[in-house]
Structure 1
């Protein structure tokens, strides 16, 4: 059974964003930056710039767990943690951004700060700040911690996004109410040799990511189709999407694409913050164009009767 959201509540804007992109026959672009990087005020300004181009904003709660993100995001978030940034500071960033952008704002967090504060107080604070919900990439969707969070989130009408990791795909599909996260990358065995093959768009269907994992479009599309038969909740691909060309190639097979490290790098590599904002503005615009150009052939869910959906699922 697919989880559902209340008709009204903080997550209403998130649902409306996905409905709008589906009507436009394209995927949604989710853009993420960590709160507090490079500073509290500057992160608010950067998120507002990013909000001009994306359909959903994702504010990252700083952490020092390298396994949760790529190297660029990890470096930014670890530095923010070291500067003494707090959960209260993060929620203040969410509050300032949510009040001044025209897109829904999700918070991405690991579990420890939520457990420390308590699920009910955390959910209440996130809803009060104007957040649409929570992205929990490192939590098993059927575990006791997830159950506590889902109960608190339902009481505050917040959306929840879990990751469809191997062994937990159906669980993530059935419990996620915001979107179902799907890794765009496939682990590459040490003895595997990469041989790119061109698709009809003349883009490689297999491409090595900077961390050595593999973007395999056929594999990704197959996993997305499988999830599409399990849930009507949007499916969002993320991880290793480091160029607009990759975003365009991935977009037709999913409901959304989340870009994180590529936007962090725009700020990291600039000599000044103003230059970083300009680079972020330009990069986000290019990703937005690419996702729109990619269109959409994603299966709309287990009850879809659209001929285009059946065609794409049979491909």
Structure 2
């Protein structure tokens, strides 16, 4: 006999629930393995080599989640280095944008300037500053405040003018960074200096970058990330819901992996974003059902697995391809 679920009848602290529902996206990263590793590699190359790197992947593939995690790990490491060398180390900063859209180069430069130097004016003595002046001031601010990399998420929305300005920002910053020249016992040598750029987006981003032949001199590498294979779906849910552990132990890890591969992924690769969306639906539905009555102080970490609810909320979530197959 199928389990009957009553949904939407319980009082839920929606503020608390909303906070909880943001968390799975972060925890899912731990099961994303290759996506996170590729993202960290892309960020480190842009930062260390002061060059332009592209991180390319399909929608819902977890790029934004992985980028957020990679930046947080970088900032943690920078704070550790600062604590170890408070007098000698200067923290490298990350400038981030998300889905930034601009019609003109000027709009793009002003948007970046407002993030780096919010009080900076776009006029001098009543005259509008031109694009070169705005870019000069932006580069000065980036170098003075020790920004090491600009990360543009959803960069497929950038137009060719914005991408061209990013190329010029990298070139100008490299030329003007005093740390570029190193004087040693054998004379002067050069090292990577300035500001790197990481563009994160879908394959459409490649068309924007290829639109300007000059861009090829600054965009040194495109790193591709893929969706999750079916056998990685199970660990992803386990990372989001540790409370599923009792059920997984009872049926076995292999059986759990097979269940998720067949019922969630339908034997196909699946974007991690779809898993996160389903996890949010499952958690929200759990809080609103009679199942929550059996527990006190319900938290995402303690939510148990319920097959009927899992499949019910799975059918409510968008399918990566085709329709769902009931609850076999």
User: Quick check: TM above 0.5?
Assistant: no
**Between Structure 1 and Structure 2, which shows a larger proportion of helix residues?**
2
Which TM-score applies when normalising by structure 2?
A: 0.26
Q: Higher relative contact order at CA 8 Å, sep ≥6: structure 1 or structure 2?
A: 2
